[in-house]
Structure 1
Amino acid sequence: MSKVAIAGKGGVGKTTVSALIIRALVENKKNPILAVDADPNSNLYLSLGVNFSQTIADIRDQVRQEVPQGFSRSDYFKLKLEEIISENKYFDLLVMGRPEGTGCYCSVNNLLREFLSKLSKNYPYVIMDCEAGLEHLSRRTSDNLDYLILVTEPNIASLRAVEKALEITKKISLKIKQKYLLVNKIKNKEVEKLKAYFDNLKIPILAELPYEERFIWACEEGKSIFEIEIPSSIKGIFYKLVEKIS
C-alpha cells in the first residue's frame, strides 16, 4: 500500500495536483484508490467529478450527541462512517469536513484513526488532499505516511508555508518515509532564481509543472480533471510521478 498526502498553501494548486495524481493512477490501472479530502476548504470531489452525502465531521458530531438504543458508540460510529464512503468505479472518496468544535474529541478521534487504518488496508493507493497546516495529520487521525508531497508556487510566500509544514512534521510523532517538493505554476525561470531557497529546504523536487490555463478554467467552470484534455508533457510528468510513489 502507498499512502500519500498532498499539502500546501491555499491557491498553489494542491487539489488539482491531487486530482491529477488520481487520474494518472487510474489511467495506469493502479487502482482501487481511496481519495481522502482532508481540507475543509477543498473541493476535491468537484475536481474528481463525484458527489458525497456527508462528511466525517457530520458523523463525528452526531455520535457525540446521540447514539441509538442497541448500539455502542464505537459500533454506531463505524457503521455511519462506512455509509458515507462515496464509491465510484476506480476510486472511493471520503470527506473529512470542518475542524473540530469545542469539547473533547479524543475518544472519537481514536475510533476514527482505527477505522481509517483498517479501511486503508483495502486500497493499494491512498491519496490525501490536506490543508496547509496538516491539521488532520497533526491530530493523529491518520497512520504514518509513505510520501508527503508539499506543493508550492515559485515564490517566497508559498515556500515559507512549506517551511512551516516541515516544522509541523518534526513536532508531530508521525513517520514519513519520504518528503517531496512539487513546484507548480512555473511561468519563466523562477525556480533558478530561487535555487538557494529550494536547496535550503533540503528535500528533493519531485516535479516542476508549468503554469497551465486550462486547470484554472476547469476550476472556474466546475469541470472535473477527467473532463479536460491534459497536455502530453504534463501527463508524462504525472505518469513518472505515480511510478515513483507506487
Structure 2
Amino acid sequence: MAFTIAVAGKGGVGKTTISALVIINLLKRGLKPVLAVDADPNVNLNTLLGIQAPFEIGKLREEALEEVRKIDFSPGMSKATYLEYEFQSCVTEGEGFDLIVMGRPEGPGCYCFANDVLRTFIAKLTPNYRYVVIDSEAGMEHLSRRTTQNVDILFIVSDSNPVALKSAERINKLVDELKLRIKKRYLVLNNLENSFILKIKEKVKKTGLELGGIIPKDEMVFSFTLEEKPLTQLPSTSPALLAVENLLKKTEVLS
C-alpha cells in the first residue's frame, strides 16, 4: 500500500508550497513513484512542480456524467467502466510522479454515482505508487465530507496568524469527532522566524497538536513563486526545502 501524506490548513498559509516541498524531498531520495493529488479548487500545485495544468477531474466529472446519460452502452461497456476510462485521462505524468487535479467542486445535481466511481478509481490507482501526497482544499470541508481518509500522516499547516492557529485547532478536533482513519497528525508552522515561536507558544499548545516542524521564511521560495518558476529548481541550500526535509525525518517519513 502507498504511504499517504495529506496537507491541510486555512487558506493562504502555504499548504500547496509545503505539499510541493514534501514531494520534491521524496523524489530527491529516489522514493518514487509519487502520486500528487491537488484537491484544492484553487489549482496551482502543477505550477510549483513544473508541469502543465492537467484536465481537472471536477470538469470532467460533469461532462462525463452528461455523456453517460446520453450514451446507450453496449453489454461490454458499463457506465462505471466508461467513467473510469475518462478519469484515467486526467492523470498527468511528471518526472518520478503523476498528478491528479480535482479542480472545481460539484455543481448542482447529483454526483453520487460519479463520486463513487472516482473513489474506486483512486483506490485502484494508489497501490501503483510508493507515496501519495494530497494537497487538501482550504478549511475543513474535505474533512466533513470525509474525502481525507486512510491517511498515514496529516500535516496541519498554520502561520503565526492566530486565526490560522485556531483553524488548525478546529481541524484537529474535527478529525477526532469524525473518527477519521488518520494515523498521525502534526502541526507545521510555515513562513515563520524562529524567534517568533516564543510569542505564540501558548496558542500552539492550544491546538492540541505535536509541533512537527517550523518552516522558515525563504526568499528563494518567495522569488520562485513570484516568477512562476517551479520549486523543483530550488537549490539544495533552500532553507524551506531543508526544513521540510527535517520535518519528514522527525515524523519518520525519511530516515
The interval holding the TM-score normalised by the smaller chain is: over 0.9
User: Helix, strand or coil: the match of 2:36?
Assistant: strand
Give the secondary structure class of the aligned counterpart of 1:5.
strand
Cα gap change, 1:120 to 1:35, in 2 (>3 Å): same
1:9 equivalent in alignment to 2:10: yes
CA distance in 2, matches of 1:102, 1:157: 31
Q: Deviation per CA, 1:204-226, whole angstroms, max 9, x where unpaired?
A: 11111111122122111111011
- Report the secondary structure of 1:114's partner residue: helix
Mapping of 1:53-68 within 5 angstroms?
Answer: 53-67=54-68, 68=71
The match for 2:44 is 43
Q: Does 1:227 align with 2:233?
A: yes
Q: 1:93-124: CA deviations, max 9, x gaps?
A: 00000111122222221111111111111111
For residues 111-165 of structure 1, give each alpha carbon's deviation from its aligned partner in whole angstroms, at most 9, with x where no partner exists: 1111111111111100000122243443334541111101111220210121232
1: distance between equivalents of 2:43 and 2:168?
Answer: 18
Q: Percent identity?
A: 38
8 Å CA contact 1:48–1:224 kept in 2: the answer is yes
**Residue in structure 1 matched with residue 164 of structure 2 by the alignment:** 158
Q: Tell me which of 113, 116, 120 is aligned to 1:110.
A: 116
Match of 1:87 among 78, 83, 93: 93
Kindly report which structure 2 residues correspond to 1:1-246, keeping only aligned pairs within 5 A, or say none.
1-67=2-68, 68-70=71-73, 71-141=77-147, 143-187=149-193, 189-231=195-237, 233-243=239-249, 244-245=252-253
Letter of the aligned partner of 1:245 in structure 2?
V
Amino acid at match of 1:87: E
> What is the total number of aligned residue pairs between the two structures?
246
User: SS state of the match for residue 180, structure 2?
Assistant: coil
Distance 1:141 1:115 in 2: 14
SS at match of 1:40: coil
- Aligned equivalents of 1:172, 1:99: Cα separation in 2: 21
Q: Do 1:13 and 1:151's aligned partners in 2 also have CA atoms closer than 8 Å?
A: yes
Describe the shift of the 1:232–1:142 C-alpha distance in structure 2 as closer, same or farther (beyond 3 A): closer
Query: Cα 1:111–1:139, aligned 2, differ >3 Å: closer, same or farther?
Result: farther
Q: What code does the residue aligned with 1:148 have?
A: L
Instruction: Give the Å deviation of 1:84.
Output: 1.2
| TM-score (norm: length of structure 1) | 0.92
Residue segments in structure 2 that go unaligned for 5+ positions in a row: none
Q: Structure 1 stretch 148-157 or stretch 182-191: which is displaced more?
A: 182-191
- Cα deviation, 1:222-241, whole Å, max 9, x if unaligned, reads 11011222435544433333
Unaligned runs of 5+ in 1: none
Q: Distance in 1 between matches of 2:152 and 2:34?
A: 15
* Equivalent-residue separation in structure 2 for 1:162 and 1:110 (angstroms): 29
Distance in 2 of aligned mates of 1:120 and 1:137: 20
CA contact (8 A) 2:9 2:167 kept: yes
Question: Are the equivalent residues in 2 in contact too, given 1:147–1:177 (CA < 8 A)?
Answer: yes
